[in-house]
Amino acid sequence: MNHSSFPFGSTVIDSILFRDAFGTAAMRSVFSDQQMVQRYLDVEVALAKAEAQVGVIPQDAADAIARESRLDRIDFDHMREETDIVGYPILPLVHQMVVMCGEAGRYVHWGATTQDIMDTAVSLQVRDALDAVAEDVRQLRAILAGLAQRYRDTPMAGRTHLQQALPITFGYKVAIWLAMFDRHQQRLAELRPRVAVVQFAGAAGTLASLGDKGMEVQQALAAELQLGVPATTWHVARDGFAEAVNLLALVTGSLGKIALDIMLMASTEFGEVYEPFVKGRGASSTMPQKRNPISSELMLAASKAVRQNAGLMVDAMVQDFERATGPWHAEWIAIPQSFILTAGALHQAKFALGGLIVDEARMAHNLGMSKGLIVAEAVMMGLAPTIGRQQAHDLVYDACRAVNEQGGTLAAALAAMPAITQHVERATIDRLTDPVNYLGLSSQMVERALALSAAIV
């Protein structure tokens, strides 16, 4: 096979080997060269239509521009060569549009500046990308809601500082994951109108070249593209795009938290959950027994990369005067990468959680590992009404030390203490030391989380 025929990539975003592990075809398409240039064309055509609508250019010129400006007529090689020289792709595009539009070519890009076209095109890309992320989050929430409901009452060890702390249910843990993504769903909806706005303001942002028609053209252009109208020019006010990427950092940060939980719970010593089994997935080249949590690893890696891009976007907000000298360019790196990595991480999450294997028996086994010590608080609180809180604390503390030093169970250690048995029966001790009887309001919290989630679309 002639390998030169492959469109080889050099990063995980476009690599033949890695691109579907770290991204999705749909999100790559949104930010592909072809779609980007198509969006440039869309903006230029919409601008011509808007200007004709308010009488800035002839209607027949706008019609010709709309008719003749087609992606299949773009010479990408020539456009790339000229972009290398100019530093921006819009002038090279306009040169080709002028030729393909003939007599109407004189009205192409009328009153606009390069950044107007590029920013508006990115707004269109980000709008579509946010819609895709919102749909993925919606699907992931449905998966999490199903898991929370199914395992609402499944007891397991809750852990703090990586030590067993108190009993919880697995459904409670998943409900916490669900609530995070409920909030992300709301954030995505709230963000969209702030970032899906048109950019059309001219060289220094004052629309001077269009006289008193500038605002009308801006509004007509926004309507044509179904974008919002900003309060002011945002050539150097980059908070919208920065907010978008920082929201992606929150989304992938939550995915990273879930991934870390899954990886720890899937470790040999825990063995409580596993990613779905697919023959060969997570296999080791040298250890046949391995079943590595690949999706979780990819989710965690993506969360780290998007977090770095979030910082880059905030850094790029610091721009000089009315047009920036370089921070703008950093967005060209961070925005596509962040959306593609986020889409990839969400895809991995839907796979891992959609088929998650939960070992309830192993959860119960691990919950019993401490021989009752995990519910020492329950015993103390159960004895407190009879013998006082502090005395109960001291007696249970001594019983716990006895278990740690001599073995046995907390129930047996308590049953051997006359100061306790004179107040409570062995059946009461057994009840107090059973972790299943000390789940708090785990199940009720699951129900509340599910009810609140169902109200979020």
Q: What is the DSSP letter of 408?
A: S
Specify whether 265 is located in the same domain as 148. Answer: yes
Specify whether 60 is located in the same domain as 150. Answer: no
Specify whether 154 is located in the same domain as 178. Answer: yes
Establish if 227 belongs to a structural domain: no
Establish if 280 belongs to a structural domain: yes
Give the domain-ending residue among 312, 344, 366. Answer: 366
- pLDDT recorded at residue 449: 97
d(C-alpha 198, C-alpha 234), whole Å: 9
- pLDDT recorded at residue 282: 53
Contacts of 130 (CB under 8 A, 6+ apart): 188, 191, 192, 195, 196, 244
Tokens 């073995």 found at: 407
Catalytic residues: 161, 284
Residue 46: give the domain boundaries: 3-107
d(C-alpha 260, C-alpha 281), whole Å: 18
Establish if 209 belongs to a structural domain: no
Specify whether 46 is located in the same domain as 175. Answer: no
Give the domain-ending residue among 107, 132, 151. Answer: 107
Show the CA angle centred on residue 22, arms to residues 16 and 24, nearest 5°: 80
CATH number at 280 reads 1.20.200.10
Contacts made by residues 328-335, CB under 8 angstroms, sequence distance 24+: 328/115, 328/238, 331/122, 331/238, 331/241, 333/309, 334/245, 334/309, 335/31, 335/122, 335/125, 335/126, 335/241, 335/244, 335/245
Number of domains in the chain: 3
Specify whether 329 is located in the same domain as 359. Answer: yes
Specify whether 362 is located in the same domain as 383. Answer: no
Residue 387, Cβ neighbours under 10 Å: how many? 16
Q: Which amino acid is at 432?
A: L
d(C-alpha 341, C-alpha 12), whole Å: 9
Specify whether 337 is located in the same domain as 391. Answer: no
Q: Judge residue 58's burial from the number of C-beta atoms within 10 Å of its C-beta, 0-12 exposed, 13-18 middle, 19 or more buried.
A: middle
Specify whether 295 is located in the same domain as 337. Answer: yes
Provide the CB-side half-sphere exposure for 85 (13 A, CA). Answer: 7
Specify whether 264 is located in the same domain as 347. Answer: yes
Establish if 207 belongs to a structural domain: no
pLDDT in tens, 35-53: 999 999 999 999 999 999 9
Ordered per-residue pLDDT tens for the chain, 457 residues: 455 555 678 899 888 888 999 999 999 999 999 999 999 999 999 999 999 999 999 999 999 999 999 999 999 999 999 999 998 999 999 999 999 999 999 999 999 999 999 999 999 999 999 999 999 999 999 999 999 999 999 999 999 999 888 999 999 999 999 999 999 999 999 999 999 999 998 888 888 888 898 899 999 999 999 999 999 998 999 999 999 999 999 999 999 999 999 999 999 999 999 998 776 655 554 554 557 889 999 999 999 999 999 999 999 999 989 888 788 889 999 999 999 999 999 999 999 999 999 999 999 999 999 888 888 888 898 889 988 989 989 999 999 999 989 989 999 999 999 988 888 889 988 998 999 989 999 999 999 999 999 999 9
- pLDDT recorded at residue 288: 46
Contact call for residues 97 and 108 (beta carbons, < 8 A): yes
Establish if 393 belongs to a structural domain: yes
Residue 315, Cβ neighbours under 10 Å: how many? 12
- pLDDT recorded at residue 292: 84
Specify whether 314 is located in the same domain as 357. Answer: yes
Coil, strand or helix at 358: strand
Establish if 454 belongs to a structural domain: no
Coil, strand or helix at 110: coil
Give the domain-ending residue among 349, 366, 383. Answer: 366
d(C-alpha 57, C-alpha 448), whole Å: 59
Specify whether 260 is located in the same domain as 332. Answer: yes
Establish if 333 belongs to a structural domain: yes
Q: How far is CA 242 from the centre of its chain?
A: 15
Residue 191, Cβ neighbours under 10 Å: how many? 18
Specify whether 408 is located in the same domain as 293. Answer: no
Establish if 244 belongs to a structural domain: yes
Contact call for residues 358 and 34 (beta carbons, < 8 A): no
